[in-house]
Amino acid sequence: MSLNTKSLLRNVCKYVYYAGAGNCWYENIYPESKSYQLYSVITFSIYTTMIFLENVAALFGNFPEVEKNSAVMFSAIHNIVLTKMFLLLYHKKSIRKLNYEMATVGEDLEEEHVMNKQYTKAKVGISLYIISVYLSLIAYGVESARRAIVEGAPFYTVVTYLPFYDDNSVVALIFRIFFYITWLYMMLPMMSADCMPITHLITMTYKFITLCHHYESIRKEFEQDLLTMNKTEATEKLKARCLEGIRMHQKLLYLADEIHRVFGIIMSLQVCESSAVAVLLLLRLALSPHLDLTNAFMTYTFVGSLFLLLALNLWNAGEVTYQASLLSSAIFYCGWHLCDPEKERHRDIRRLVLIASAQAQKPLILKAFGIQDLSYETFVSVARMTYSVFAVFYQRGE
């Protein structure tokens, strides 16, 4: 099967389906049978129950300092995670329509080498994110098991109100292990909610790259047509190809608005989650500089996964802005200047190119909560802010 936008989006929807978040593909190739719906209801009910117990632990639980801090941090994180998962379910019909539009717009113009780069970028980025998340979760399990064996502390990864901290019974241990397994499994729909907007940002980037290549090919074809056919016929062909590109550009602008409407809150929550929790984890490092190996690995992998998630969102959103900014020049150099300026029919193509080029100069910028730009600059700003907070508290700790 050839790699194209359609196959990439279909593969992501396949992952979302098996993660329990339903069919987001516009074709009914991933049916939501009654047994599947029951499976989704049960799993999401378990997630919700666990997060509810985390919130109760954060508000009313009587735990030692380490467990109390973990309860507060994970209750905040998992509330955001659960919100993102339910937003994905809420917008499922809109996502199906968006996937159809993204898969079909400019489908005939896609080039194999460009699509290979698109697939590689999405695969590498998402794979690194999944690996970093599970390295962190496994490290949490190993550290908790070490403390339980060496120090005799209860086995805790996610801190829930029940079972109680001083309950060392076998039933309590089984529930703690069950909640850890639930946490591991909950990451699948959570990452599907994260990866869906990231994939759409990547595909939007390569749609603009494809459109720029379309206008470059228009000029090359027009130069060849001037040598092999009547100039009027060549100009009409140029005009028709330019109109095809303009229609695709209009469609992409509409789809960018749809991506912002459907995934805007999810991407905004991802920025908040990554930046805020990274600060909390770095503060933990600042206030406890002498961590053992497993604890340090656990913290650093968690921080790494959060910053990778932040980077995948902000870098790809910034790349959409950058590639869209190149379109105006590609339109302007499509070959219109080779037309005869004396003929009215030829002057039409000039007006067409002028309007299209002017419209493409308007910046395409995605925003978090309609305020903060999703861009390279925002990523640098968040990284600097996080390090500044860490540095201040680290100095105070010394």
pLDDT tens by residue, the chain, 398 residues: 478 999 999 999 999 999 999 999 999 899 999 999 999 999 999 999 999 999 999 999 988 887 888 888 889 889 999 999 999 999 999 999 999 999 999 999 999 999 999 999 999 999 999 999 999 999 889 989 988 998 888 998 999 999 998 898 999 999 999 999 999 999 999 999 999 999 999 999 999 999 999 999 999 999 999 888 888 888 889 999 999 999 999 999 999 999 999 999 998 888 888 777 777 776 666 666 566 777 778 888 888 888 899 899 999 999 999 999 999 999 999 988 888 766 656 678 888 899 999 999 999 999 877 777 889 888 888 888 777 776 776 676 55
Torsion angle, CA of 30/26/319/278, rounded to 10 degrees? -50
Tell me if 193 is assigned to some domain.
yes
Provide the token pair at 318. 């910034």
Check whether the bond before 64 is cis (ω within 30° of 0): no
The predicted structure's pLDDT at residue 284: 67
User: How buried is 124 (Cβ within 10 angstroms: 0-12 exposed, 13-18 middle, 19+ buried)?
Assistant: exposed
In a domain, 165, yes or no: no
Three-class SS of residue 299? helix
Report pLDDT for 381. Answer: 85
Instruction: Tell me how far apart the alpha carbons of residues 69 and 75 are, in angstroms, rounded to a whole number.
Output: 10
With respect to residue 57, please indicate whether it lies within any of the assigned structural domains. no
388 lies in which domain range? 5-29+83-148+188-397
Which alpha helices (H) appear in the chain, and where do they start and end?
5-16, 34-60, 65-90, 92-104, 112-146, 170-228, 231-287, 293-325, 327-332, 344-360, 376-397
User: What's CA 111's distance to the chain center, in Å?
Assistant: 24
pLDDT at 3: 84
Predicted local confidence at residue 72, as pLDDT: 86
Does some domain include residue 77?
no
Report yes or no on whether pTM surpasses 0.85.
yes
Structural domain count of the chain: 1
167 occurs within a structural domain: no
With respect to residue 295, please indicate whether it lies within any of the assigned structural domains: yes
Specify if 183 maps to a domain: no
Cα angle for residues 33, 200, 369 (degrees, 5° grid): 105
